[in-house]
A and B are shown apart, each in its own frame.
Chain A
Amino acid sequence: MVMGEGKPIQEILSMIGDKKKIIVAGCRGCVTVCSAGGQKEVEILSSTIRLAREKEGNPIEIREETLERQCDPEYLEQMRGYAEDYEAIVSIACGAGVQYTAEKYRRIPVYPGINTNFIGVTLEQGVWSERCQACGDCMLHKTGGICPITRCSKSLLNGPCGGSSNGKCEINSEIECGWQIIYDRLKELGSLELFEEVIPIKDWTTSRDGGPRKIVREDLKS
């Protein structure tokens, strides 16, 4: 899922400025699962903003909404009837959701209420970890299902480097060496021959370096 975490409240209050009537919009997708931008967080953030403003003697009206997803136009349209009666939208969806909301509601500013961090997994309740950098050219079949781009701090294609020590990475003793875990996994799988294959230079044109990416599926297009 796309992972995010709430911005500091003072940063959000500063974005809102002196506005008197806003929408706080959540998303029932990824950010609900990672407890950053679902209905509960909409309620908590709205309440916090109201408390802060009430305390300053400058009350604010907040409409609390949680859309099914903010990355799909049909759900964003659900705010069409009333959104522009408000002075701003604070979106606590991921960066894609915030941007799409801003694209669809052009007359009012849309502010990000969370920081979008990474694509990751839930390790345990309240703990998440990055797993994918969306490079656009998956090579997990060569590396025992462990991504060297994400899990190796240097994104090496042929590791480990000299900074690997006792299975840990030189940048932080709490971070596992990505290539150590690739080696261990390949050994478990009885596929160490894959470890000996030199992985050629990666074609990064599928990654971020070529600007914003787009997928077109002719079979699905209307």
Chain B
Amino acid sequence: MPCTGKVDIIHMLRAFEAGVDGVYLVGCEEGNCHFLVGNLRARKRVERVKGILASIGMESERLQMYNLSAGEGTRFVAIAKEMTERIKNLGPSAISPQKEKLKILT
């Protein structure tokens, strides 16, 4: 994606439909969006999807948004580890993985 502002609600939902255990969006720091509000829009959409997941009894923690700059490689690693740990603790999603859908996502 050129910007997290391009990520729509349906993209996140489709990832969960494909059976992924967790999704995280990594956008630029707030206030530093090249398109001004792309990352702020993404955060609002993440919150909406978290609400949708909670409304059907799925753990909203499976979805997370992070903000960091492109130069923060070390922090990106820390975030990846944090998210991986979180998903391991939550266990697998209740949605069984669907290889065909996963293939489309990758």
Q: Is there a chain A Cβ closer than 8 Å to B94's Cβ?
A: yes
Q: Other than the known A9-B56, A48-B55, what 10 A-B pairs have Cβ atoms closer than 8 Å?
A: A10-B55, A13-B56, A44-B52, A47-B13, A47-B14, A48-B56, A50-B17, A51-B16, A51-B53, A54-B96
Shortest distance from the beta carbon of B2 to any chain A beta carbon, whole Å: 20
Interface residues on B, range: 10 to 19
Q: Are B17 and A47 in contact (CB under 8 A)?
A: yes
Q: Are A55 and B17 in contact (CB under 8 A)?
A: no
Interface centre among A10, A40, A51, A55, by most chain B C-beta atoms within 10 angstroms, is A51
Contact partner of B56 among A40, A43, A52, CB < 8 A? A52
Known: A9-B55, A10-B55, A55-B57. A47 touches B10 (CB 8 A): yes
Per-residue 0/1 for A21-60: is the Cβ within 8 Å of any B Cβ (1 yes, 0 no)?
0000000000000000000100110011011101100000
Q: Which residues of B contact A55 (CB under 8 A)?
A: 56-58, 94-95
Residues of A contacting B: mostly: helix
Q: Is there a chain B Cβ closer than 8 Å to A8's Cβ?
A: yes
Interface residues in B54-71 by Cβ distance below 8 A to A read 55-58
Shortest distance from the beta carbon of A58 to any chain B beta carbon, whole Å: 12
Closest-by-CB residue of B relative to A50 is B17
Q: In the bound complex, what is the Cα–Cα distance between A51 and B17 (angstroms)?
A: 6
Q: Is there a chain A Cβ closer than 8 Å to B9's Cβ?
A: yes
Q: Which residues of B contact A50 (CB under 8 A)?
A: 17
Shortest distance from the beta carbon of A66 to any chain B beta carbon, whole Å: 13
Query: B interface vs A, CB < 8 Å?
Result: 8-10, 13-14, 16-17, 52-53, 55-58, 94-96
Q: In the bound complex, what is the Cα–Cα distance between A51 and B55 (angstroms)?
A: 11
Q: Are A44 and B13 in contact (CB under 8 A)?
A: yes
Closest-by-CB residue of B relative to A49 is B56
Shortest distance from the beta carbon of B18 to any chain A beta carbon, whole Å: 11
Q: Are A9 and B52 in contact (CB under 8 A)?
A: yes
Contact partner of B55 among A8, A43, A47, A54, CB < 8 A? A8
Q: Which residues of B contact A47 (CB under 8 A)?
A: 10, 13-14, 17
Q: Which residues of A contact B53 (CB under 8 A)?
A: 51
Known: A50-B17, A55-B94. A44 touches B9 (CB 8 A): yes
Closest-by-CB residue of B relative to A10 is B55
Pick the 10 closest A-B CB pairs, nearest first: A52-B56, A47-B13, A55-B94, A43-B10, A9-B55, A54-B95, A48-B52, A44-B9, A47-B17, A44-B10
Shortest distance from the beta carbon of A127 to any chain B beta carbon, whole Å: 14
Q: Are A54 and B10 in contact (CB under 8 A)?
A: no
Closest-by-CB residue of A relative to B93 is A55
Q: What would 11 A/B residue contacts be, using CB atoms closer than 8 Å? A: A8-B55, A40-B8, A40-B9, A47-B13, A48-B52, A51-B16, A51-B17, A51-B53, A51-B95, A54-B96, A55-B57
Q: Which residues of B contact A44 (CB under 8 A)?
A: 9-10, 13, 52
Known: A8-B55, A9-B56, A10-B55. A48 touches B10 (CB 8 A): no
